[in-house]
Amino acid sequence: MAPIFTRMTKLGMVVIAASVFLTACESYKTGDPKKLTREENEDTDFSKRETIFGDGGFNLFGSDSDSGGGTSLGVNSFLWRASLETISFMPINTADAFGGVIITDWYSPPESPSERFKLNVYILGRTLRADGVKVSVFRQLRDRSGNWIDATVPDGTAPKVEDSILTKARMLRHQTLTAQ
């Protein structure tokens, strides 16, 4: 009796699931017009829809002539490009153009292989301003056993990197404005 009961239970479950599915489809088909999809609703104005990229769509380097350098990125495109170019000698671990975060991997200068650096670059807005970029610098030294140990970063290192990024961003903006 057990196998018959199992087959009947499975058949009953399939019948219940099918009836629920068909009932849901029928109420959707004859139901409220608000439940219609965009394709079925002829009153939908697709020109007024919003996208995740904003009104201008996705434009990596920006073509607007405003001081923001484009509105498609979440951050200022000149600061973004300048940051990438300034730290291009370091391996990039993570780069998020919409959040404005660049995290490098550890980099050891060829002249001092027992020392390594890591940078976190934060672009803080859409405008090209002196306070629009923040850099965090991390430094480690190798001990005698070969382990890396956190070390202090020389004073003024982060502001020097920030100044380099800002200088490059101003230069990129100037090149864009003179090219137009």
State residue 78 phi and psi, 5-degree precision: -70, -40
- pLDDT for 25 equals 54
DSSP 31-77: S-GGGS-TTT-TT--GGG---TT-TT---SS----STTS-SSSSS-H
Percentage, residues of the chain above pLDDT 90? 54
Judge contact between 126 and 75, C-beta under 8 A: yes
- pLDDT for 159 equals 97
- pLDDT for 134 equals 97
- pLDDT for 180 equals 79
User: Which tokens go with 94?
Assistant: 């993570």
DSSP 38: T
The domain spans of the chain are 2-47, 77-179
pLDDT along the chain (180 residues), means of 10: 58 62 53 48 50 50 47 81 96 93 96 96 93 96 96 96 97 91
The CATH class of 77-179 is alpha beta
- pLDDT for 1 equals 52
- pLDDT for 66 equals 45
- pLDDT for 26 equals 52
| Separation of CA 52 from chain center | 12
Tell me the β-bridge partners of 150. 140
- Look up the pTM and report it: 0.60
pLDDT tens column, 58-85 = 455 454 444 444 445 689 999 999 999 9
